[in-house]
Structure 1
């Protein structure tokens, strides 16, 4: 007989439990708490915001602003739920222009963390300190009263959140590592810093040992343009590839609206889509906008590449409903599809216009095209001419191979350079370095997960057909030295390759292979680091548009490198002494000398171009910069034009040495160690001739 189920008793939850459940909907992780606190600071009219973090925000999350502050009379109800200065009636939501409005942020934080506030208005003579727990004032120490205490302080508010989720262990256990949470915090600060470029932002991580001595990971000076802030936070390379798109008061609907966007052009490619979306100055996310952006770039960027998009959309407040998500992460607005479609059309038009105005250096294809990758290793089976067989049996039983299928290669054949006396190599070094004489480059044993992942990515991106071409090629010669173009023969096909692009990938891979165990080049006399950086910054084309002067920019990069000198020495063999001199640099390939004229550029780029915020990103970008330093091209901006015969002679000698290294050291080593990725096929390896096709042309003449 079935057991009868009695109805359960409905009871009213305790107020503390209700508030703790509600807090879990608002505060998901330290980054969401920071977002709420940042928005409060911006609503208070702050022009300077400083964020301090410890253990990813779980131990400490502190935000200081110079805004209007909080009146002492409002402190007792500051952390109670639904206490706000933004609304008085429900109709006020239709004209909302502030970030916060429900009065739940501080209340939610006080229920899952220890919260303290130090605040001062401009009219008050002193600051006031108050501590909160579960939405009400609490004594800072046992035996003291809970009333706010007078203290010293600057105008504005200092909010300190400690021991976040101390009373919700399940939520605490679900969070990731402190480094991952800190990265999310940096993303939030970076996004708001870009959108509020006129406001100064600073975010730093405090270590347990060096409390109060941390270096800021995100710093913006304020008073800059959005483009300048993007260049400061994401790199000058991206800022130069941005296109401005403005849709001003387009009357798609009855109400007017405006969209301002900065979008990357076809030259910029990143692994993940970076979308900074602000609707009425509120940082939100929208799956529709994300899909629309991906659709715009689908036919422009190669597969796997993503753009950077910053979009600020200003709508009539009465058309926006911001109260559809507990954390205000999403908003709804009228005529969403029509507005997004209009913005997408303008972005598409801007990209097409920019692409049509660009000038590319291309090589006209003679008969082929891009590398034929339809099949991999086929040494004997080749395409036939019409219905003609490749080979046929002769009377003595041997097979006859037609001339157009004969592979003509010999190390004794003369290369292109031998026909050009002006750039002929050193006669004492005429012979190429045999493959057997290339010293083996051993892969170092490294237990770092990030390095293991980077090495695995190299193998995953390997392209079989291109690997066969480069492993079994015959070097024909350097076709165009200034443009870094060389000719290679593989079987019956001739390829034009960009040896600078191949070298950059090759040196990245062998640097990754030798990570942490590089041979070293000693610089004697050791050049001063500051002077080298200053030289490169002054020569940078983007410097005249920078908001910082030459000395400030040089000092900023100098301090970044000196603060990380131990790591650069241990992992990358870049030794900087205490006096600021460059003592040693890494040697990636035996007998191959990098162009030391590029050393200032290499050191300067280590500052803004390296991702110092994550371990894997730091290692990858530093190795990429090291590979760029070793790439055999001439940094034209460091070479004044030579007009005298003596200057021309010096350039000729330097070119001779570079040509010899490319042919006799780089290409033999690349044949053995390069694992070519598919990306090289897009522009850097082009088939220019095919012997059977040439025979067909001759037969028709």
Structure 2
């Protein structure tokens, strides 16, 4: 064992530099973009805002902007706005005991300015214009170079707009510790959603800079139940129970308790989820409390199945003198007097409501017995038989017991055997993230990001078109429709994908099993959807817009038809580019293919909502538009263009040439899973709804592989 070094001297104690102190303090308050947004929302509410608009870029790391219509900030206060411990909420230490506002320490804007670029634009009602100020490290900095560091006049409406840019640009360790942009944006949505529920009188809007449709939007003058319904869904809203609990200055269990009140909305025993959702507000402040969470979860033990969790919104109003809000840097936790007694009173009321509701629950099921229906009230154990009314022609219509003999028994081999849960082969494997999107040279506005839930596709209406060529194409589709095959596809049950590389899948109709080539069916479907939506197709926006010439060059470099001839690839690219540029207006009007004047591809058509084509095929699609489309005849032009568009939409995973060996297996797995999800959840429902199946598909693309009655005959012989 080494001897202790007796020459080791203690290091001197030094006073940290102010910049280091401020960044350490900022790190305690601003953990991530969502924590900065929480502070900014509370400032908006303190300012009396009735409308709060939030705009986010890259999960709040590039931009986090919040705009309100509150009282604004005086110009004279702007020079010290971002300095530490500058506040309008308190003036002495004793004011902490009677706080009624969210903020009081004056550290939020200061902390943000130490880790990001902060810009404030504000206007009070009496000012003739708005004032804009920029801050770094708590100090005013010039709005533009060569200007003085002072607020500048700017255009603006009453209220305040705060823009936080390049968050954590000077703290790379904090930046690297954050999650992906999508996950950070999900945390932002969670904060906005919770405050929107608790403040239904305020209109909230939250969206990304790259989209026009907000991800969270609520009206003003709403109520808490309506806000929960809109933000958390009908499933939770229809199971909500409500209790109000009040406490006077009497005592609870011989413990003195000041006056307080609480309002709770919570789900009944019929609702079950994997994770508890708790919205806890104490004196209108969003906080966390493991003690309260544990107490509420304990109530549901024995009422809902093990592994299930409830949804609870709890708002408590306590005497400010009994609450200590200054126990956590972000005010995420608070302590209050007689905490256990108050929580027990609230939990008792919630438990009474749950028990009274669960005892009167009714589980109903129906079972046909002959011509009668049996219903059983599982909550009370009563059983009754309802006799169908047997109205004879010309009779009195009174209720009688039907004498009709029981229906003829269906033989086993003629029963249609499908699970009521519609279980497929894919359900036996891990679920693939449905938000997967391929990206080639740009991002698609069809991608909805984060973990937010996806909307169900709506009806695709046939566009109004009076062009004779389009009318003839639609008539040809209807004329070639094979009634029996169309009926099979309309009423099929999806079984699973057999071979994704060969585009083979299994479906069931009645007692028969069919092997189909879903690639061929998809091509016909997308062709018909193109004809159906001609001139009125939705768009997929490519951002940034790739160069058409660059895409054509990429396709020409790998196209075997060009490489094996004497054709000059540059000449081929220029020729096809000229064709497309000369027909830009027609392509945009009829097919939603928008090409800018400088030759960038800005949009492509979206034929089916919730289905994004494989953008790896985009260069080849553009290249084929030259030789494969007949540009000389209107009808043939529309027909051949839509055929190429349908071929572009066919689902097939594409891998890069010669991928690295260690990555090839993973690439193949991800591609196949993404395509499989779209095939099952988007393609096959669209096939059953919109495809007028032509007879030629029966030749080799739809094959009957099993028939239940024939299988029974084989087994009987055995």
Q: Report if aligned partners of 1:444, 1:513 keep a CA contact under 8 Å in 2.
A: no
3-state SS of 1:63 partner: strand
Which protein shows a greater Rg? 2
Structure 2 partner of 1:190: 193
**Structure 1 pair 629/422, CA: closer, same or farther in 2 (3 Å)?**
farther
Aligned residue runs from structure 1 range 429-444, under 5 A: 431-432=414-415
**Structure 1 pair 622/268, CA: closer, same or farther in 2 (3 Å)?**
farther
3-state SS of 1:450 partner: coil
**Structure 1 pair 300/512, CA: closer, same or farther in 2 (3 Å)?**
farther
Give, in angstroms, the shift of residue 242 of structure 1. Answer: 0.2
Q: 1:83-106, CA deviations, whole angstroms, 9 ceiling, x for partnerless residues? A: 000000111011101000000000
Give the Cα separation in 2 of the matches to 1:512 and 1:200. Answer: 50
The answer to whether residue 218 in structure 2 is matched with residue 235 in structure 1 is: no
Aligned residue runs from structure 1 range 643-662, under 5 A: none
593, 611, 614: which is aligned to 1:569?
611
3-state SS of 1:276 partner: strand
Give the Cα separation in 1 of the matches to 2:306 and 2:682. Answer: 24
**Structure 1 pair 33/331, CA: closer, same or farther in 2 (3 Å)?**
same
**Structure 1 pair 514/347, CA: closer, same or farther in 2 (3 Å)?**
farther
Give the Cα separation in 1 of the matches to 2:268 and 2:431. Answer: 35
Give the Cα separation in 1 of the matches to 2:332 and 2:681. Answer: 36
Give the Cα separation in 2 of the matches to 1:434 and 1:304. Answer: 32
Structure 1 partner of 2:10: 7
3-state SS of 1:348 partner: helix
The answer to whether residue 87 in structure 2 is matched with residue 84 in structure 1 is: yes
Give, in angstroms, the shift of residue 360 of structure 1. Answer: 2.2
Q: 1:296-346, CA deviations, whole angstroms, 9 ceiling, x for partnerless residues? A: 111111111111000000000000000000000000000001111111111
Structure 2 partner of 1:479: none
3-state SS of 2:259 partner: coil
Q: Report if aligned partners of 2:120, 2:133 keep a CA contact under 8 Å in 1.
A: yes
Runs of 4+ in 1 over 6 A off after TM superposition: 419-422, 444-448, 506-509, 511-528, 619-630
Give the Cα separation in 1 of the matches to 2:190 and 2:679. Answer: 21
**Structure 1 pair 51/451, CA: closer, same or farther in 2 (3 Å)?**
closer
Give the Cα separation in 2 of the matches to 1:292 and 1:204. Answer: 35
Q: 1:358-414, CA deviations, whole angstroms, 9 ceiling, x for partnerless residues? A: 3222699xxxxxxxxxxxxxxxxxxxxxxxxxxxxxxxxxxxxxxxxxxxxxxxxxx
The answer to whether residue 288 in structure 2 is matched with residue 295 in structure 1 is: no
Q: Across the two proteins, how many residue pairs are aligned to each other?
A: 441
3-state SS of 1:338 partner: helix
The answer to whether residue 107 in structure 2 is matched with residue 104 in structure 1 is: yes
Give, in angstroms, the shift of residue 571 of structure 1. Answer: 8.5
3-state SS of 1:346 partner: helix
Q: 1:602-621, CA deviations, whole angstroms, 9 ceiling, x for partnerless residues? A: xxxxxxxxxxxxxx9xx999
3-state SS of 2:611 partner: helix
Give, in angstroms, the shift of residue 527 of structure 1. Answer: 11
CA RMSD, 1 decimal: 4.4
249, 258, 263: which is aligned to 2:261?
258
Give, in angstroms, the shift of residue 4 of structure 1. Answer: 1.3
The answer to whether residue 84 in structure 2 is matched with residue 72 in structure 1 is: no
**Structure 1 pair 110/566, CA: closer, same or farther in 2 (3 Å)?**
farther
Give the Cα separation in 1 of the matches to 2:192 and 2:55. Answer: 11
Give the Cα separation in 2 of the matches to 1:146 and 1:334. Answer: 47
3-state SS of 1:9 partner: coil
Give the Cα separation in 2 of the matches to 1:260 and 1:513. Answer: 56
Q: 1:544-568, CA deviations, whole angstroms, 9 ceiling, x for partnerless residues? A: xxxxxxxxxxxxxxxxxxx987552
Q: 1:640-681, CA deviations, whole angstroms, 9 ceiling, x for partnerless residues? A: xxxxxxxxxxxxxxxxxxxxxxxx99xx9xxxxxxxxxxxxx
Give, in angstroms, the shift of residue 146 of structure 1. Answer: 1.0
TM-score w.r.t. structure 1 length? Answer: 0.56
Structure 1 partner of 2:433: 450
Structure 1 partner of 2:351: 348
Give, in angstroms, the shift of residue 237 of structure 1. Answer: 2.0
Structure 2 partner of 1:607: none
Q: 1:98-152, CA deviations, whole angstroms, 9 ceiling, x for partnerless residues? A: 0000000000000000000000001111000000000010012221111100011
Give, in angstroms, the shift of residue 19 of structure 1. Answer: 0.4
Q: 1:5-28, CA deviations, whole angstroms, 9 ceiling, x for partnerless residues? A: 112111111111110110000000
Give the Cα separation in 1 of the matches to 2:345 and 2:315. Answer: 14
Aligned residue runs from structure 1 range 371-450, under 5 A: 431-432=414-415, 450=433
Q: Report if aligned partners of 1:62, 1:161 keep a CA contact under 8 Å in 2.
A: yes
**Structure 1 pair 182/353, CA: closer, same or farther in 2 (3 Å)?**
same
Q: 1:431-456, CA deviations, whole angstroms, 9 ceiling, x for partnerless residues? A: 34699xxxx97769999962699xxx
**Structure 1 pair 451/152, CA: closer, same or farther in 2 (3 Å)?**
closer
Give, in angstroms, the shift of residue 56 of structure 1. Answer: 0.4
The answer to whether residue 273 in structure 2 is matched with residue 270 in structure 1 is: yes
Q: Report if aligned partners of 2:425, 2:496 keep a CA contact under 8 Å in 1.
A: no
The answer to whether residue 166 in structure 2 is matched with residue 163 in structure 1 is: yes
Q: Report if aligned partners of 2:287, 2:332 keep a CA contact under 8 Å in 1.
A: yes
TM-score w.r.t. structure 2 length? Answer: 0.55
Structure 1 partner of 2:220: 222
177, 181, 192: which is aligned to 1:178?
181
Q: Report if aligned partners of 1:79, 1:106 keep a CA contact under 8 Å in 2.
A: yes
**Structure 1 pair 10/70, CA: closer, same or farther in 2 (3 Å)?**
same
Aligned residue runs from structure 1 range 508-587, under 5 A: 566=608, 568-570=610-612
Q: Report if aligned partners of 1:193, 1:229 keep a CA contact under 8 Å in 2.
A: yes
Give the Cα separation in 1 of the matches to 2:347 and 2:683. Answer: 38
Give the Cα separation in 1 of the matches to 2:189 and 2:498. Answer: 27
**Structure 1 pair 20/182, CA: closer, same or farther in 2 (3 Å)?**
same
Structure 1, 56-65 or 297-306: larger mean CA deviation: 297-306
Q: Report if aligned partners of 1:443, 1:514 keep a CA contact under 8 Å in 2.
A: no
Unmatched tracts of structure 2, length 5 or more: 368-402, 437-491, 506-517, 534-604, 615-645, 647-672, 688-706, 712-718
Unmatched tracts of structure 1, length 5 or more: 208-212, 365-418, 454-505, 529-562, 573-582, 584-615, 631-663, 669-701
